[in-house]
Amino acid sequence: MSLKPIIQLTQIDTKKAAKKTAINRNLASLLFSFFVLLFSAQSFAYSYAAAGKEPLIEGREALLKALSASDYSAVQTAYDSMQKEFVYFNEHHGLAVDKQMQTAITNKDQQGVARALTTTIKAEVMRRLEGAEQNINEYQVAKVLVVKSKLFIDLLAADLTADNRQKADIAIRGALASIGNPGVFGVGQKPADLTRYIEYRTNLQVALQFTLPDAPTK
């Protein structure tokens, strides 16, 4: 009996097995690449949003520096760079911080300028937290908004009593924990707790001694 047919069949089976192995490897590689891209995209989306420019934070530093030097021309320039942030609260919440700021600058009223700035920062904190509440089921969005709120709270440290600073810190940490965690492939998943979130947000309002007015009725 000739061994040639057997050898040929063996070679064919070997080729099929090699081809199947190659396909499996390619499929595994594609799946791996997909998940890498997925997590990279999520990470990039969060880091990009978290690192986005904040005119109010950047403008505040320039404004306070100019204010300490009583250079109201520079104060005006600094305010102009973030004026839209102030106008927003007037247009959407009836909080006339834009007019208060401009009047204080015109009158060279140092305390008035500082007061309008502080009020606007507090408003920004609550605005972000309200946004997080509205997006509490979108973990990445809610997380970015709460984390950014913490950046603004840190700017208010000098304007808060030691007791209120501590209360604000506890409240913002609680708010962050309340938005839950999607986990990794469901492992470590923790659902958002809206009731607890609202409780911590309310506690923060008390600590900041500020409530963001509702949008004016048109």
pLDDT for residue 15: 53
Distance between CA atoms of 75 and 60, rounded to whole angstroms?
Answer: 10
Distance between CA atoms of 177 and 200, rounded to whole angstroms?
Answer: 10
Of 122, 187, 172, 180, the residue nearest 152 (C-alpha): 122
pLDDT for residue 215: 59
Q: Which of 31-45, 92-106, 113-127, 204-218 comes out lowest in average pLDDT?
A: 31-45
CB 191 within 8 A of CB 185: no
Distance between CA atoms of 85 and 55, rounded to whole angstroms?
Answer: 8
DSSP assignment string, 27-77: HHHHHHHHHHHHHHHHHHHHHHHHTS--HHHHHHHHHHHHHHTT-HHHHHH
Q: Which of 18-32, 141-155, 188-202 comes out lowest in average pLDDT?
A: 18-32
Tens digits of per-residue pLDDT, 137-147? 999 999 999 99
pTM: 0.74
pLDDT for residue 48: 31
pLDDT for residue 216: 55
Tokens of 122: 């507090």
CB 210 within 8 A of CB 126: yes
Tens digits of per-residue pLDDT, 160-193? 999 999 999 999 999 999 999 887 776 778 899 9
Instruction: Average the pLDDT over 29-45 and give the result.
Output: 40
Which of the pair, 217 or 85, is modelled with greater confidence?
A: 85
Instruction: Average the pLDDT over 105-113 and give the result.
Output: 98
pLDDT above 80: residue 102: yes
Where are the domains positioned within the chain? 53-208
